[in-house]
Structure 1
Amino acid sequence: MLESARSRLKAWLAAGIGTAAAIAVAGLLGAFEARQAQVPVLAPAGPIETGQWLLRPVKAYVSAEKYVYGTLRKPGTKALVFEVDMTNRTAQSTKDYFELLQATRPLLDPATKPYIVLTRDETLSPELHPDIPERMAYVWELPDGAAAPASLGLTVIRKIYKQRDNLYGLPGWFNPSPVGRLTIPVAPDIGGQP
């Protein structure tokens, strides 16, 4: 009888210690996730490093012009344009910038993808060469009747370089994660590209 009481006491203690350990681990993981969820606020006028790219936000505005940087808008829409100077910091020409900026404004569905234009010659989604800053325009279409937002919220995404990925053993840029959030004021429609 004494032996079975000792066994039960040991089982209760083990269960209590295991439960306490599980609660502690869950608390630590929760604190770690909360820390990761805090994304820094980025200055709208300063440089932003993302690994592959160096960004310098320029301006955001709304345009009701039929063509925005040579690209025809859909009927019944206006354009929300974000211009940014981009420098490719890699050793190869690339156009790996489609997921670099994600709109966070409620007015824009996060699934809506912008079209991206080189402002210098109105080329749609060109490869950018290493170490040559280029001004790019990210253009989202808004319904004509929608009010222009006062500001554009963007999440800036970075990637890390791996000499070998886990699947194919090839080099590349992987593991996208937020650098921070950027909010830039939006100029109202002035009848053309400022």
Structure 2
Amino acid sequence: MRVLHSFKARVAALLAGVGSLAAAASVALYAAYGKVNRAPEPVFGPGAAIQTGQWHLVPRRAWTTGAKVYDVPVKAGTTALVVEADLTNRSAESSVDYLGLLRWNAPAGVSAGKPMVVGVRDAQQMPYLQPGLPERVAFVWMLPPAAAAPAQAAFAVQSKTYKPVDNLYGAPGWFNPANVGRVELPVARDGARESAS
């Protein structure tokens, strides 16, 4: 009886090992297939109209400054990277849910974090944007004192999906952030704030 039990245990262990190998192989094949068949990431430039679900985004220009920008103070020795864009709220309610919309792909060694967002028209930080009304806003990132200002900058554009009923709270909202492309902008140096079209 003990021999039979030992034999069953060996067979079970062997089957578990084979199952694990099959699972690992299928995951590797699925990942390889996904990489091979993945469409190239869309790249947008200045003036491109980008639909992100909740927002309609038109990036305009990027520039750096070491001085106060739209009432956002810049510490001495620090440089601000500013991206101006036109945003239109495509939802039915006023919203400030745009902090994750642009994510700066900062150079190695630079911690980008989330930007401050300012309304260009009245220099109000984190303005509520009304449905259907385009507003020019400035996304402002602070560079560490030792970081060099980039000549070109890339930003991941994030989209969310609307759910009328959330799985957790049973309430409507915008969920499941995913990248829809990349914005690449030349960066003007030292406060080049001439008007953009």
- Whether TM exceeds 0.5 here: the answer is yes
**What CA distance in whole angstroms lies between the structure 1 residues aligned with 2:39 and 2:111?**
22
* Number of equivalenced pairs: 183
Deviation sequence 1:3-54 (CA, Å, 0-9, x none): xxxx9xxx7xx95985774355223331355369866132213111110001
TM-score, normalization: structure 2? Answer: 0.80
The one-letter code matched in structure 2 to 1:163 is P
DSSP-derived class of the 2:181 partner: strand
- Mapped contact 2:66–2:77 kept (Cα < 8 A): no
2:60 to 58, 73, 81: 58
Q: Distance in 2 between matches of 1:20 and 1:148?
A: 49
| Separation (CA, whole Å) in 1 of partners of 2:142 and 2:82 | 9
User: In 2, are the aligned partners of 1:152 and 1:184 still within 8 Å (CA)?
Assistant: yes
Aligned match of 1:132? 133
Secondary structure of the residue aligned to 2:149 is coil
> 1:184/1:170 Cα in 2 relative to 1: closer, same or farther (>3 Å)?
same
Using a 3 Å threshold, how does the CA distance of structure 1 residues 35 and 75 change in structure 2: closer, same or farther? Answer: farther
Alignment gaps of 5+ in structure 2: 1-6
1:70, CA displacement in angstroms?
1.6
Q: CA RMSD in A?
A: 2.8
Output aligned runs, 1:61-140, within 5 Å.
61-65=63-67, 67-106=68-107, 108-110=110-112, 112-140=113-141
2:193 maps to a residue whose letter is Q
- Give 1 or 2: higher strand fraction: 1
SS in 2 for 1:30: helix
Mark the CA change 1:68 to 1:23 in structure 2 (over 3 Å): closer, same or farther: closer
Contact kept, 8 Å, 1:64 with 1:192, in 2: the verdict is no
Q: Give how far 1:182 is off.
A: 1.6
The question of whether the paired residues in 2 share the 8 Å contact of 1:39 and 1:181 is answered with no
Please state whether the residue corresponding to 1:72 is helix, strand or coil: coil
Given that residues 68 and 193 in structure 1 are in contact (C-alpha distance below 8 angstroms), is that contact kept between their aligned partners in structure 2? no
Segments of structure 1 that go 5 or more residues without pairing to the other structure are 1-6
What is the distance in 2 between the residues matched to 1:126 and 1:22? 49
**1:136-179 deviation line (CA, Å, top 9, x unaligned):** 00111124554320111111111000011111111100001111
Q: Is the 8 A contact 1:39 1:180 kept in 2?
A: no
Sequence identity of aligned pairs in percent? 44
Q: Could you say what secondary structure the match of 2:142 adopts?
A: strand
Tell me the secondary structure at the aligned position of residue 22 of structure 1: helix
- SS of the aligned residue for 1:28 comes to helix
Structure 2 vs 1, CA of residues 36 and 135 (structure 1 numbering), >3 Å: closer, same or farther?
A: farther
For the 8 Å contact 1:151–1:186, the answer to whether it is kept is: yes
- Supply the distance in 1 between the matched residues of 2:44 and 2:62 (Cα, whole angstroms): 14
